[in-house]
Chain A
Amino acid sequence: MSAKVNPDQLRFPPGSTLLVIGSGPIIIGQACEFDYSGTQACKALKELGYRVVLINSNPATIMTDEELADATYVEPLTVEAARQVIAREKPVAVLPTVGGQVGLNLALALHEQGVLEEHGCMLIGADPEAIELAEDRKLFRDAMVEIGIGVAESDVATTLEEAEALLDKVGLPAIIRPAFTLGGAGGGIAWNREEFRAIVTEGLRLSPVTQVLVETSLLGWKEFELEVIRDTADNVIVICSIENFDPMGIHTGDSITVAPALTLTDRELQNLRDQAIRIIRRVGVETGGSNVQFAVNPANVPEGRHEVVLRLRDESGATSTATSGGRLTFDRTAPNGQAAPEGRIIVAEGDSELADLQCDAGSVTEANFYPLFEAKEAAGQPWCPATQSWGTPCN
């Protein structure tokens, strides 16, 4: 273990059992990055001296390899299955933030149904309030307005009639986002009233809480993401900025992302950084990483009036594997001129502070060093000339 973690600083005694929730099947919005984050979390927690129990319904993942967790349950990611695992393994805590939406939803359900309380098991990484705030679009929107973050005109509706009434305020085209669905399933852009009614009806049906958010379209705006980590001393660092190659309106999963963001001036980037830090504090992500997304109007927006919309998820793509107990990997993250932090930043569990940790890169750089890029990294779908399509593996 290259992280300098003093056992006294750990939240639980060494040998304590922790339950990690995996992300289940690989589907859009819930892809292999969560296998990655779950795997890294298992490794990091074991290195800290804990006994790791994993539940995941998908055996075709790295995290379910035998040597990773101390005990692996390939079971459905349901409250019932998780209840039995918890009853049998008696974990002191559940880590829900490395299993994507599935992990968060399951953790929330376990909390609501009293399973965690019954077995004296706590949630680490994010508390139920934070999960709810980051996932419930209305709560989130209200919280953002409260701390002065610009958001797109929007409101929630629980019936088609309510939704139609919102159209006067929002206008067409309008974005419809069902609450608590995987990868935004059931959402879409309506260009006319007919499409609007169809998408809202379907969205209400798919949403487990029968709720959709109707929002002004930001099609064509620049799309940025910041990966943010907070520790228990309330230190916050921005791990990296990411820019979407395609503008708003093209799903990130269909697009190319580039890190770092390339077309922001320092004034604009620092503005987004300040906002991201305010957001992570307001949402209350206790320890660990979050992905904050911003839309920035590429047209002539006056300084200080960035119109910004964002979503915050306790989990996110490839870079936010550094949730509590997880790690963040930066292939080719650059030297900042003073150390060679190629490799990983470890953010350890619970009560550790970033300043107490060191980069898992054999360097003297501390974990609260602020990674910089001297190379740019792009991720996206490969184009296959043979099949003339994106995303198909080519051999």
Chain B
Amino acid sequence: MGAIFLLEDGRRFEGEAFGARTSRVGEAVFNTAMTGYQEVLTDPSYAEQVVTMTAPHIGNTGVNSDDPESERVWPAGFIVRSLSRSPSSWRSEGSLHHYLRDAGVPGMQGIDTRALVRHLRDKGAMKCVISTDGTPEAELMEQLKAYPGMVGRNLAAAVSCTEAWVAADPAEPVARFAVVDGGCKKNILRLLEGAGCYVRVHPISDPAEAWLEGVDAVLVSNGPGDPAAVDGVTSELAKVVGKVPLVGICLGHQLIARTLGATTYKLPFGHRGGNQPVRDERTGRVQITSQNHGFAVDRASLEALGAEVTHTHLNDGSVSGFRTADVFAVQYHPEASPGPHDGSVLIDEFVEMAKGGAK
């Protein structure tokens, strides 16, 4: 059976179906990572998004049980130029087709992904519907119109864990972290654990008092959706500022900025991929980073608060990180996975900050 992909503005693509036979609505985005499709698929930040990969061959290394960044597949749909049905990797335990089928996620291949990506680049991320089950197009358009989209949606609460759990508990921790889970990737926890930290993960809906209990620092994780819609969290985060160091990644970066009083805005088509150049303004050094976000922090509003912009995205000059005496946050993913490991030094900085305590 064929697959159909419809965009909000009427653009239409036909291709071949793989994965699950179903219809799903979401936001159409693209990712430029050349490797790491399984990490992309299991990153909670992709909740309710139909992800198109710009790399032409996907599925080459199959899927395995070591690489997932969470317990499930998050995107609403997955679009590739050419699906590999015969994986070549000693770690492969199955095919991408079966993986998506079992996860209930529709896939589509054999379309001109360049045309689709250029369209999204010109027109911006937009609402879409993907169908692999033969649902009539008129019905799909109705579903698309009924879909509320990303703006104003608090998706972080929906993907967060439901109760606190301890991810790492070494005998002599170098620092103790509470991680506020807005859709946290496993590798953030792995890196903190690797640095010798005690790590406790909390639902984003927990009160600040619960986060703060017996920790040296609070880290706000990555996550999906519109930071402005998660505003209930900022009043809790405000209680952390000044008590212990507050650090953040991606959505966490945006939430901390909003807590301080800065504003966020939607980027035209977002930064998603493993090739995003960021300059550390403190050293002039450039890191090639992994990023995945559709919203950004307004530079002027940060500077008006007296915050130091520590990192700049070199493609469009947007804010990639900032710091004050009490907080430090980056828009990119120091935990990579997928992507280059250039940013992992940031985790060390977080740990140092935690050791130093509140200023």
Contacts and interface: CB of A to CB of B under 8 A. Distances in A.
A279 to B, nearest CB: 15
B56 A375 contact: yes
B118 interface: yes
A266 B68 CA distance: 11
B341 A270 contact: yes
A273 B286 contact: no
B208 interface: no
Nearest to B287: A235
Interface string B298-341: 00000000000000001110000000000000000000111111
A274 B341 CA distance: 7
B277 A370 contact: yes
B315 A339 contact: yes
A376 interface: yes
Interface stretch (B70-78, B87-95, B230-238): B87-95
Contact of A374 (B35, B38, B54, B89): B54
Contacts of A238: 340
A301 B316 CA distance: 41
A385 interface: no
A346 B215 CA distance: 49
B286 A373 contact: no
Given A267-B67, A303-B66, A376-B57, A233 B285 contact: yes
B273 to A, nearest CB: 6
A373 B340 contact: no
B90 A298 contact: yes
B67 A337 contact: no
Interface residues of A, number: 43
B284 interface: yes
Contacts of B90: 298-301
B314 A355 contact: yes
B272 to A, nearest CB: 8
A335 interface: yes
Contacts of B314: 355, 366, 368-369
Interface in B188-246: none
Interface string B255-280: 00000000000000101111101010
Nearest to A269: B35
A373 B55 contact: yes
B132 interface: no
A263 B284 contact: no
Interface in A329-356: 334-339, 353-355
Interface string A75-103: 00000000000000000000000000000
B117 interface: yes
Contacts of A260: 34, 55
Contact of A264 (B35, B269, B279): B35
A337 B36 contact: no
Given A233-B285, A235-B285, A266-B36, A335 B60 contact: no
B12 interface: no
A269 B279 CA distance: 23
Interface in A361-375: 364-366, 368-375
A200 to B, nearest CB: 34
B288 interface: yes
A336 B54 contact: yes
A265 interface: yes
A250 interface: no
Interface string B328-358: 0000000011111100000000000000000
B61 interface: yes
Nearest to A337: B32
A123 interface: no
A319 to B, nearest CB: 15
B121 A338 contact: yes
A160 B198 CA distance: 58
Contact of B286 (A264, A299, A368): A368
B243 to A, nearest CB: 36
Contact of A266 (B39, B56, B285, B286): B39
Scoring A235, A266, A273 by chain B CB atoms within 10 A of each residue's CB, the highest score goes to A266
Contact of B54 (A298, A337, A353): A337
A347 B273 CA distance: 24
Contacts, number: 128
A334 B54 contact: yes
B88 A338 contact: no
A337 B336 contact: no
A112 interface: no
Nearest to A303: B66
A118 interface: no
A334 B32 CA distance: 10
Residue of A234, A237, A338 with most partner-chain B CB within 10 A: A338
Contacts of B277: 355, 366, 368-370
A4 to B, nearest CB: 13
Interface string B80-98: 0100000011110000000
B113 interface: yes
B144 interface: no
A263 B274 CA distance: 17
Nearest to A374: B54
Given A369-B315, A374-B55, A337 B269 contact: yes
A336 B55 CA distance: 10
Contacts of A273: 340-341
A352 to B, nearest CB: 13
A336 B291 CA distance: 13
A262 interface: yes
Nearest to B276: A370
A263 B60 contact: yes
A235 B60 CA distance: 30
Nearest to A300: B90
B114 interface: yes
B295 interface: no
Q: Which 8 A-B pairs have the closest CB atoms?
A: A266-B36, A266-B338, A370-B275, A266-B35, A263-B88, A374-B54, A265-B61, A235-B286
Given A338-B269, A370-B275, 9 more contacts: A262-B57, A265-B91, A270-B336, A336-B54, A364-B315, A370-B340, A372-B55, A375-B56, A376-B56
Interface of B: 30, 32-36, 38-39, 54-57, 60-61, 64, 66-67, 81, 88-91, 113-114, 117-118, 121, 269, 271-275, 277, 279, 284-286, 288, 314-316, 336-341
13 contacts: A234-B285, A237-B288, A260-B55, A266-B36, A266-B337, A269-B34, A334-B54, A355-B286, A368-B286, A369-B315, A370-B275, A370-B340, A373-B34
Interface of A: 233-235, 237-238, 241, 260, 262-267, 269-270, 273-274, 298-301, 303, 334-339, 353-355, 364-366, 368-376
